[in-house]
Amino acid sequence: MSKVIVEFKDVVKKYGEGEATQLANNNVSFTIEEGEFVVILGQSGAGKSTVLNMLGGMDTPTSGTVTVAGQEVSAMNDRQLSDYRARTIGFIFQFYNLLPSLTAYENVALTKNIVKNAKDPAEMLKAVGLEAHKNKFPSQMSGGEQQRVSIARALAKNPSVILGDEPTGALDSETGVIVLELLQNLCREQKKTVILVTHNADIARCADKVIRMKNGKVREIRRNENPVPVREVEW
């Protein structure tokens, strides 16, 4: 059995106060093992993005603990959180969030300013099949290409955990497949832990583990004994 890399324990997240209080996460508990390809599935408002934000050190729980790679993220201060985001997490956004004034190469090379042992940006771009586009600015690339740059950027930091918030949400299905395949390969070949948040149930078929959420609660944690290769999924 692999080692547990992520542990959510009795996590509650509330927004607002008094009557306006909204319970985004209600006693959420789960674990994820190292090298797993996990999909957190749920409809809009299910609380899945809140889970991802807390995992990414961008938000803190109201109660409960979040532990990632042996570090209690829920107890960290601002500085420790920055350090955690820099070293442990690679984030992939729905809308890529590349810096528009930097080229593809520079967006990836940015990681050198964040961690000391960042990987070679050229190699990372090659890994995502964009070596020919390295001097293009984001506005000169398609959505899929931009998302691949975003993945290359996440990988360059050599993080233990890669988080993706609807990474294919803004892409057409063909491009989405390429991106997902890339992420699945990271898991299989580089033993990275990949956690994706999506409302697309088809994508869940590719995952090793599916955590289904509804109304802020975990409804089901299911292990896929035979994850489907991404190419076989249609949506």
Partner 1 sequence: MLFKKMRREIFGNFGQFLSIFILAFLAISLFACMKASNISAYNRLEDLYKKTNNADGWIYSEGFSGEDLQAVKGLPDVKDAQRRMHITANAKENDHAQLEVYLLDENVVSKPLIMSGEEFDADRTDSLWLSESFANAWDIKVGDEFSYVYNGIIITGKVAGLVVSPEYQYLKADKDLDIVIKNISVVYMPYRGFPAKDYIKSLIRKGDLTLEDAIEHSALVREKIEAMEEAGVSKADITTDVFLDMVDQMDEEKIYGLLPYTELIFTTDTKDVKEMEQEISDALDGDYAVFCDRDDIPGIKIMMDELTQHDQFAVSFPVIFLAIALLVIMTTMNRMIAQQRTQIGTMRALGLKRPKIILHYLSYSFVVSLLGSVAGLYVGTYVFGEAIAKIFRDWYQIPGWTVEMDGSFLVVLLAIVFACTGATYLSCRKVMDIHPAESLRPAPPKSGKKTIFERLPFWNRLGFSTQYNLRDISRGKLRAVMGVFGTAAGMMVMVAAFASYTTIKNTSSWTFDKLQHYQSEIDFDSDITVEKAEEIRALYDGELVQASAVEVAKSKSAIASEKRSTTLMVTEGKGYFALTDVDQNEVTLEPGTIAITRKLAKVLDVSVGDKLYFHLYEKNTWYEVEIGLINRNPNLSGITMLREDYEKLGAKYEPTFLYTNSEVSDDAVKDGSGILAVHDDSDLRESFDVMMSMINAMIGVFIAFATILPVVVLYNCGNLSFHERVKEFATLKVLGFTSRRIRKLLSLQNLWLSVIGIFIGAPFGTVILQYMFDSNGDSMDYQVSAGTLEYLLSGVFVLVVSVLVSFLFHKRIKKLDMVEILKGIE
Residue among 13, 23, 147 at smallest CA distance from 91: 147
Q: How far apart are CA 138 and CA 99, in angstroms?
A: 8
**Residue 68 found at the interface with partner 1 (CB under 8 A):** no
Q: For residue 28, which phi and psi values (nearest 5 degrees)?
A: -85, 125
Q: Which of 98, 100, 68, 99 is nearest to 85 (CA)?
A: 68
Interface region with partner 1, contact rule CB under 8 A, candidates 38-46, 92-100, 206-214, 223-231: 92-100
Per rule CB under 8 A, is residue 169 in the interface with partner 1?
A: no
167 is a site residue for partner 1 (CB under 8 A): no
Based on the shown chain and the rule CB under 8 A, indicate whether residue 15 belongs to the binding site for partner 1.
no
19 binds partner 1 (CB under 8 A): no
Q: Does 115 bind partner 1 (CB under 8 A)?
A: yes
Q: Which member of 23, 102, 201, 228 binds partner 1 (CB under 8 A)? A: 102
Q: Does 119 bind partner 1 (CB under 8 A)?
A: no
What distance in Å separates the CA atoms of residue 126 and residue 132, rounded to the nearest whole number?
8
Q: Which of 5, 109, 125, 178 binds partner 1 (CB under 8 A)?
A: 109
Verify binding: residue 139, partner 1, rule CB under 8 A. yes
Q: Which is nearer to partner 1, 33 or 106 (CB)?
A: 106
17 CB neighbour count, 10 Å cutoff: 7
Strand ranges of the sheet holding 71-72, from the earlier edge strand across to the other edge:
22-33, 4-15, 63-68, 71-72
Which distant-in-sequence residues (6+ apart) come within 8 Å of 7 by Cβ? 30, 31, 32, 65, 66, 67, 68
Interacting span for partner 1 (CB under 8 A) from 64-72, 91-99, 176-184, 194-202? 91-99
**Which residues of the shown chain bind partner 1 in the complex (CB under 8 A)?**
49, 53, 56, 58-59, 78-79, 82-87, 89, 91, 93, 95, 97-103, 106, 109-115, 137-140, 153, 157
